[in-house]
Amino acid sequence: MIIVRSSKGGELCVDGYRVRIIEKLRLPSLNERLKAIREAFWNTFLLKNEHVFLDMLTDSGVNAMSDKQLAAMITAQDSYAGSKTFYELVKAVEDVLGYKYVLPTHQGRAAEHLLAKAFIKEDDVIPMNYHFTTTKVHFELAGGQVLELYINEALNTESTHPFKGNMDPEKLREVIRKYGKEKIPFVRMEATTNLIGGQPFSMENLRTIKEICDEHEIPLVLDGSMIDWNAYLIKQRERGYRNKSIAEIVKEMCSLADIFYASARKAMCVRGGFIATNNKKFFEKLEELLPVYEGFFTYGGMSIKELGAMAVGIREMVDESLVGSTVEQIRCFVEKLKKEKIPVVTPPGGLGVHLDAMKFLPHVPQNQYPAGALAAALYIVSGIRAMERGTMSMERTPDGREVFSDLELVRIAFPRRTYLRSHIDYAVDRIAWLYEHRELIKGLEWVYEPPVLRFFLGKLKDVDN
Ligand code: F0G
């Protein structure tokens, strides 16, 4: 964002880039949308893109890349071993994040897989501010149990708390007292907490958590997949950070983590991921696993072309002109929805706009998946593809019981540098219509339910039309 003083007082945030390649969009007819959602078994993951108008399923792997990233893909030096492009990546990680050891992985969950394999034993517990779907599955497959130590305000969808992604330090102390440090391989903090609505943590909180970890010699792992938005929100909301650069804020965040990992499909705008650390022992433990599960250490499961673009993406992630546009779009979208009195998660954060489906559809019980139903209904009225982030995104207990999610959210994600203001106006208009006619929306039930990560491939049908 280029931030300038407005002639009318206050600040103006202006996007620090322009668009030079476009993709034409098509708005399918209502009948086509109805047919498509039935064919997709009411699961927005199973829709074909040709039937989608605005694809706001995720920001993952669909951000607009920069001219410099595309150029880096052409000049990347393809080779199995020893590519100079890998060493450019190492240099970018060191310059921007401050870590000297880097392990590329094919995406974020591959990093989680390696961390789980290297550090988690049967009956371990892993405290975190909140889980992410793939994180939880990998850590549980390794025999661990995920403990979510969020602050009480985190689940209040109508909050003004600036840092709902904070971890509760007292809960962490309690967990360490209860289980003992031997059972805690690491503590995990997720930047721009995904499943509670893109909410950031504060630097002060991260520092406090790090101090507790240090007291007990427990490593701190930072999931930095969306560190860009968390850093921007720290700059906007935390005292003492207004005049710091995004680069300084990101560096400071990373200096507090013993291990950093990320899905590069998000903040870094490429398809890949990596783990980074300054701890040689951790690095060596992880390095052994890399060729078994990912690839040789100089590509680690990524294409070298994308690895080159990742090196550029890491540097651009802290470029003041390029960061922040999405956060500003989300703020504008949330403000417009609030004006229409539509239940939406506040305060606005990163990642996307999150509708509160339990408040939107109080007549749909949680065992009929209100967020899944609302995501399908949103598609029908608008052609917008959003994502269920509620009970459908949870796993059943080993004995088959349903685990109700703390929140039932419909996430309308914002891929970076992709959608425009008119798209926001359109979405608000359609959502307002849907809210007015919310009685029309009924629940869903499974016709096919996969055993893990069921939200991806699960098939449903409509209860009561
Ligand atoms: N951690 C976080 C915080 C994520 O948001 C994601 C992915 C991952 C790890 C896994 O990374 O997809 O590269 O394997 N989030 C995507 C989303 C899928 O749509 O929010 P991955």
Q: In the annotation, is 266 catalytic?
A: yes
Q: Which CATH architecture has domain 23-52+324-462?
A: Alpha-Beta Complex (3.90)
CA of 194 to the centre of ligand 1 (A): 8
Best mutation site among 115, 139, 263 for ligand 1, i.e. most ligand atoms within 8 A of its Cβ? 263
Task: Please tell us whether the domain made up of 67-316 is placed in CATH 3.40.640.10.
Answer: yes
Q: Which residues of 169-185 are buried (b: 16+ CB within 10 A; e: fewer)?
A: eebbeebbeebeeebbb
Residue 438 among the catalytic residues: no
pLDDT for residue 465: 77
The DSSP string of 118-134 is: HH--TT-EEEESS--HH
Give the separation between CA 344 and CA 407, rounded to whole angstroms.
12
pLDDT at 292: 97
What is the model's pLDDT at position 464?
A: 86
Can you give 197-233 as a three-state secondary structure string?
Answer: CCECCCHHHHHHHHHHHHHCCCCEEEECCCHHHHHHH
Å from CA of 299 to ligand 1 middle: 20
Catalytic site residue from 109, 389, 430, 454: 389
Please report, as a single letter, which amino acid is at residue 175: V
Asked if residue 451 has a cis previous peptide bond (ω within 30° of 0), the answer is no
Instruction: Please check whether residue 125 is in contact with residue 291, taking contact to mean a CB–CB distance below 8 angstroms.
Output: no
- Where are the domains positioned within the chain? 23-52+324-462, 67-316
Q: Which residues of the chain have pLDDT under 50?
A: none
- Cα–Cα distances (Å) from 426 to 2, 62, 339, in that order, read 26, 21, 15
Which of 24, 23, 47 lies closest to 35, judged by CA? 47
> Cα of 401 to ligand 1 centre, how many Å?
26
Substitution site in 113, 132, 270 for ligand 1 pocket (most atoms within 8 Å of beta carbon): 132
> Is 397 assigned a catalytic role?
no
Q: Which residues sit with their C-beta closer than 6 Å to ligand 1?
A: 58, 60, 107-109, 132, 134-135, 190, 194, 223, 225, 263, 265, 273
Check residue 236 and give its pLDDT: 96
CA distance 93 to 278: 11
- Confidence (pLDDT) at 23: 96
> What is the value of pTM for the model shown?
0.96
